[in-house]
Structure 1
Amino acid sequence: MQEPPQSLAAALETACLTATLESISDAVLMLDHSWKIRYMNGNAERLLQVQRSEVMGKNVWTVFPEAVDGPYYRAYHQAVETNSAVAFEEHYAPLNLWTEIRAYPSAEGVTIYFRDISERKAIEAQIHNMAFYDKLTGLPNRQLLLDRAGDALSQGRLGAMLFIDLDNFKNINDTRGHDKGDILLQMVGDRLNAAVRSCDTVARFGGDEFIVLLEDLGPTEEAVAKAAQEVAAKIIHAFVAPFVIEGVDQYSTPSIGVTLFNGSCGTVDEVLKRADLAMYQAKAAGRNNVSFFDPAMQARVSARAALEADMRRALVNDEFVLYYQPLMNMDGTMAGTEALVRWKHPQRGLVSPAEFIPVAEDSNLILPLGRWVMHEACRQLAQWANDKRTAKLAMAVNVSAQQFHRPDFVEQVLEVLAATGARADKLRLEMTESLLLKDIEGTVEKMQRLRAAGITFALDDFGTGYSSLSYLHRLPLDQLKIDRSFIWAAVKEDSGAAIVRIIVALGKALNMSVVAEGVETLEQLNFVIAEGCQSYQGYLFSKPLPEPELLTLIAGL
């Protein structure tokens, strides 16, 4: 019997291969060396949801552009470049299916086998959820919490753990039934998630106990403690509104124990024990409360919280006052004053700005406080304009970064000037270098608008921040104020004196006046006069004074 012709043999072989590929359960796609589709079986049509007749001969990356630069693309190229099979699993987003892919290179190109493994992946996900997530609330369970806390400790990360127990939860189960208690637990989980960041872990630890794991809160223990206190306060507030269960208001409160952790604080169990102990301290203190494990940290956090609460009350009760520090010319005349806020606490007396300004900055109370300072300073400036002793005095007002970067800052300042009748050309705004570095274009635009109204600007504490000539020459500044630390060092160290000389020379080159801050001795005064400073401030002449004492001082000049 004769052998069939070569073309017929090839045809038979192709037909057999095609029949085989059509019968297998995998989807099959064959590409030539130009990535053009030369064959697709029926399963590939169904799996990829395309018609063979419409894609044959077309470039595969044109047909499936969403796969370009993804794992499919890289795997196919790897198979060709290494001349070896490549297998991987990937989620194919457009069709929401998981596929197991095997790519085989050949003389003709690449053959790809697809298999839909979505059902297997769904089962794996279900098993994962059962192992690591609470069935009732959908929150991470004890095991997942322990894993994440263990990772944080092993990597030495600084964070906080909040142990939360619902007060009197047993009464809810006893009076309304366990099904209503379960609904409450689900609603508690929702409120806890809403009170924290998406990167934080809220876990149901068991029963009516929840754990919140907080990371990346700040670089220091104080910063982490402050942030943890704020989160705990948000959680307490989140429980104020009733939980409405089947039309009935149900009230519940949390007792929260807080402990900080880092890589040197022991095991996860030890951290949990500390948080648990702190939680029982919160219950002992009357429930619906927050307690820190570390008594010293608790005292600091409590003191800060009390100070913030006092500041809010002080703003309402008008307890803040302005003191004025003279700005002196080198000839002994007074050029102006700097308005400095002081707090006359009804119990503590005069509270140092070093104590309350950082709290104001952290709590955003600097915004209402800054508005009050601006208004009071301009009111005083307008009043001084009617007194020949003070009519020529300028007024400097410190501006915080939070104030300045408010979108309506320019409008606020202009409205205060209009409301008080103060002269804009007598108002000088003092800003720090850190304020100016943020959004340089927006900063210049705001300063130019205010300067067009007549307001001048001083750069305060110059040399202590991130001084850069690249921005300094662009800013419409009128004055540089040399930080007191350089003045103190100038008469003791050659390097300190050199820095002062450089700043004075820089100010003159940029047509700015230069003020020496913190001048306390005649030696310091003689030095800054010799170096060319135009004016100075400091205790050598006068400390900050209330307005009546300032007027007495002016009368004696």
Structure 2
Amino acid sequence: MQEPPLSLATAQETDCLTATLESISDAVLMLDRSWNIRYMNGNAERLLKVQRHEVVGKNVWTVFPEAVDGPYYRAYHMAVETNSLVEFEEHYAPLDLWTEIRAYPSQQGVTIYFRDISERKAIEAQIHNMAFYDKLTGLPNRQLLLDRAGHALSLGHLGAMLFIDLDNFKTINDTRGHDKGDMLLQLVAARLRAEVRECDTVARFGGDEFIVLLEDLGSTENDVARVAQDIALKIVRAFAEPFDIEGMEQYSTPSIGITVFSGACGSVDEVLKRADLAMYQAKAAGRNTVSFFDPTMQARVSARAALEADMRRALGNDEFVLHYQPLMSVDGTMAGVEALVRWKHPQRGLVPPAEFIPVAEESNLILPLGRWVMREAGSRLAQWSGDTRTAGLEIAVNVSAAQFHRPDFVEHVLEVLAQTGARADRLRLELTESLLLKDVEGTVGKMQQLRAAGVSFALDDFGTGYSSLSYLHRLPLDQLKIDRSFIWSAVKEDSGAAIVRIIVLLGKALNMSVLAEGVETQEQLNFVIAEGCQYYQGYIFSKPLPEPELLTIIAGL
């Protein structure tokens, strides 16, 4: 569009040009080289909210003083000095405008075209927010965090990353509802922003995980680590104050992992991995604390990953076996055995359960492993039923929370009993107190279904969890197992002995038998018998044994 200034056109040309400029969708201003307004179309009147008869002939910078020293002023001079077209976008409150300035050297005039692009800019901003900001908290999301962290690494900046996880957030969701959990996340986001500098990035990484990216903290790693720790501790102190959720106080504590980074750290993924590992170290240290990344953590994680891969292979290669620890009656007879899984590794030999069971639980391999244990125990029960020495023995099987809360758990147990031909009244399932916390009604229902079939239940490690008398009496339990820690302390401390006595009295009151775990000395055995325990297990009689060794002991009784 190369229209000449109006003053140099013929009357007919002027009328034609005016009609054209009034019909186009852009706002148009025409100036002479002295910056005086020579013409303004109707769209310019509406867009700039001025009347043309009030401004034509006046200096444009007098009419629009706010534009002086801004991009319009600079662009105007550039167009005049270079006799060229200058195009740009600028926010001219309250509008976003596209502007094109054309200078005509032969005519000594300048034409300015405006277009309102506010709607387009708003849509672009909305798309940008959707792509880079968390909808719930308004914080930068994972993608924007990765971009900013990558930029910091590319510049070689020395900084720190804080990986923050809310302790027990799932419990809050489960007990107060997801809507209250969302409110808590919003309050957490606001509190985190208040505790860091304006230049720092606070991002919601996902779920109840937040990342704080800190830059320009110092010139050495020690300086950065010191300042990062100070900020992390500020966050911990800030979280000591309760959050107000619709008039109710809610406490939430953070576990924070810190890693210091520089351009030499490699990728953003590596920095995130280190901060994540440090956060889990903070969890392991008791939660509501701060932990720095330690390179030895990486070695432990790598070893865990290798162990998990080995376990997957082992499940397919029948490397797991059951050992059996006798459950003794105080009259000296064997009432049953507890089935305990062992791993016969082809290279490492017998792997301790304390090493592989936690990995199985974290990786969900506890589910196929637990199903294998149940089938193997059923097969042993069926086989032993044909031998008079073992026909009366029970087999106790530990059941994990993940296994028990599977929708098909009851069906699986009944299927094992049917397929193996094992007697249900010889199978005892051992549950932990923590398992009972989730879905008490559902737990009771499953226990009642299996008990109706003849299966019995024991509450394992009693006294170490969160049992509540309000629901303990509702559970169809047959036995309480006193945790070994109480047995060990009972002969040394009055408090330990008192706890054992209380558990025995509770068992009798609820019509449950009581078994003492971890009995290792004659003194401990004398104590539990004197206090009224009916059963015990421990090294004083036997450690867990492979089946052939167990049968040898049984033959000698």
Report the TM-score, using the length of structure 1 for normalisation.
Answer: 0.54
Matching of residue 158 in structure 1 with residue 164 in structure 2: yes
User: Structure 1 residues 262 and 132 mapped into 2: Cα distance closer, same or farther (>3 Å)?
Assistant: farther
Aligned 1:414-425 pairs, distance under 5 A = 414-425=414-425
Secondary structure at the counterpart of residue 514 of structure 1: strand
Contact 1:132/1:140 (CA < 8 Å) preserved in 2? Answer: no
1:470 aligns with 2:470: yes
Deviation at 1:279, TM superposition (A): 6.9
**Cα contact 1:261–1:271 (8 A) shared by 2:** no
The DSSP-based 3-state class of the residue aligned with 2:266 is: helix
Could you say which residue in structure 2 is the equivalent of 1:244? none
CA RMSD of aligned residues (A): 4.1
Query: Partner of 2:53 in structure 1?
Result: none
**Gap change, CA 1:261 and 1:393, over 3 Å in 2:** farther
Matched with 1:349 is 349
Structure 1 pair 261–278 and aligned structure 2 pair: CA distance change class (3 A): farther
Q: Is the 8 A contact 1:157 1:262 kept in 2?
A: no
**Counterpart of 1:264 in 2: which secondary structure?**
helix
Describe the SS at the equivalent of 1:324: strand
1:311-365, CA deviations, whole angstroms, 9 ceiling, x for partnerless residues?
0000000000000000000011000000000000000000011010010001110
d(CA) in 2 for partners of 1:265, 1:347:
47
Distance in 1, Cα, partners of 2:345 & 2:152? 45
Q: What amino acid sits opposite 2:229 in the alignment?
A: S
Aligned pairs (5 A) from 1:301-450: 301-450=301-450
Match for 2:530: what amino acid?
A: A
What per-residue deviation string (whole Å, max 9, x for no partner) do you get for residues 261-294 of structure 1?
994299999535364268799xxxxxxxxxxx85
- Quote the residue 1:503 is aligned against: 503
List gaps (5 residues or longer) in structure 2. Answer: 1-93, 95-115, 133-141, 154-158, 166-187, 190-202, 211-224, 233-257, 272-292
Per-residue deviation, 1:148? 12
- Give, in whole Å, the separation in 2 of the partners of 1:510 and 1:309: 45
The aligned residue for residue 144 of structure 2 is 140
Amino acid at match of 1:140: L
Tell me: CA distance 1:270–1:392, structure 2 relative to 1, closer, same or farther (3 Å): closer
**Distance in 1 between residues matched to 2:530 and 2:543, nearest whole Å:** 23
**Contact 1:132–1:144 (CA<8 Å) still a contact in 2?**
no
CA distance in 2, matches of 1:262, 1:448: 57
The answer (yes or no) to whether the contact 1:158–1:215 under 8 Å persists in 2 is: no
Kept in 2, the 8 Å contact 1:501–1:531? The answer is: yes
Q: State the distance in 1 between where 2:463 and 2:450 align.
A: 25
Preserved CA contact (<8 Å) 1:375 1:416: yes
Cα pair 2:162 2:259 within 8 Å, conserved: no
Q: 2:527 matched to which residue of 1?
A: 527
CA distance in 1, matches of 2:545, 2:311: 22
Once residues 408 and 324 of structure 2 are traced to their aligned partners in structure 1, the CA distance between those partners, rounded to angstroms, is: 27
- Indicate the SS of the match to 1:307: helix
Aligned partner of 2:121 in structure 1 is 123
SS of equivalent to 2:229: coil
Residue of 218, 221, 229 corresponding to 1:264: 229
> Secondary structure at the residue paired with 1:140?
helix
Contact conserved, 2:357 with 2:366, CA < 8 A, in 1?
yes
Whether the 8 Å CA contact 1:424–1:455 is kept in 2: the answer is yes
Q: CA, structure 1 residues 142+422, in 2 after alignment: closer, same or farther (shift >3 Å)?
A: closer
Are 2:554 and 1:554 aligned? yes
One-letter code of the match for 2:399?
Answer: V
Change (3 A) 1:341 1:218: farther
CA shift, 1:301, in A, is 1.1
Contact kept in structure 2, 1:133 and 1:141, CA below 8 Å: no
1:442-491 alpha-carbon deviations (Å, 9 max, x no partner): 00000000000000000000000002101100000000000000000000
Whole-Å Cα distance in 2 between the matches of residues 142 and 483 of structure 1? 47
What is the TM-score normalised by the length of structure 2? 0.54
Name the SS of the counterpart of 2:407 in structure 1. coil
User: What is the count of residue pairs matched by the alignment?
Assistant: 338
Q: Which residue of 2 aligns with 1:273?
A: 263
Q: Which of 471-480 and 265-274 deviates more?
A: 265-274
Cα separation, partners in 2 of 1:131 and 1:386, compared to 1, 3 Å: closer
CA distance in 2, matches of 1:261, 1:307: 36
Output the CA distance in 1 between the equivalents of 2:442 and 2:394.
26
Residues 40-70 of structure 1 show CA distances to partners (whole Å, capped at 9, x for unaligned) of: xxxxxxxxxxxxxxxxxxxxxxxxxxxxxxx
Q: Is this contact kept in 2: 1:339–1:397, CA < 8 A?
A: yes
- The answer for the alignment partner of 1:543 in structure 2 is 543
Q: Deviations over 1:418-463 (max 9, x none)?
A: 0000000000000001101100000000000000000000000000
Give me the whole-angstrom Cα distance separating, in 1, the residues matched to 2:379 and 2:526.
35
What amino acid does structure 1 have at the position aligned with 2:121?
Answer: I
Q: Where does residue 224 of structure 1 map in the other structure?
A: none
Q: How does 1:141-290 map to 2 (within 5 A)?
A: 157-158=163-164, 214=205, 263-264=228-229, 270-271=260-261, 273=263, 275-276=265-266
Measured in 2, the distance between the counterparts of 1:348 and 1:142 equals 41
Give the counterpart letter for 1:264 in structure 2.
Q
- 2:461 and 2:477 map into 1 onto residues whose CA distance is 14
Q: Is the contact between residue 160 and residue 259 of structure 2 (CA under 8 Å) also seen in structure 1?
A: no
Question: Aligned to 1:396, what secondary structure does the other structure show?
Answer: strand
* Contact residue 160 and residue 260 of structure 2 kept, 8 A: no
Q: Cα deviations across residues 138-188 of structure 1 (Å, max 9, x unaligned)?
A: 953777658999xxx9996537xxxxxxxxxxxxxxxxxxxxxxxxxxxxx
SS where residue 548 of structure 1 aligns? helix
In the alignment, the residues of structure 1 paired with residue 227 and residue 424 of structure 2 have an alpha-carbon distance, to the nearest angstrom, of 52
Are 2:370 and 2:403, in contact at CA under 8 Å, matched by a contact in 1? Answer: yes
Which residue of structure 1 lines up, in the alignment, with residue 103 of structure 2?
none
d(CA) in 2 for partners of 1:480 and 1:488?
A: 17
Compared with structure 1, are the counterparts of its residues 550 and 214 closer, same or farther at alpha carbon in structure 2 (3 Å cutoff)?
same
Identity %: 69
How far does residue 296 in structure 1 lie from its aligned partner after superposition? Answer: 1.4
Query: How big is each residue's C-alpha offset from its partner over 1:211-265, in whole Å with a ceiling of 9 and x where there is no partner?
Result: x98467789xxxxxxxxxxxxxxxxxxxxxxxxxxxxxxxxxxxxxxxx999429
Does the 8 Å contact 2:481/2:517 carry over to 1? yes
1:366, 1:551 → 2: CA distance?
28
Higher Cα radius of gyration: 2
8 Å contact from structure 2 (residues 337, 394) kept in 1 = yes
Cα 1:123/1:491, change in 2 over 3 Å: same
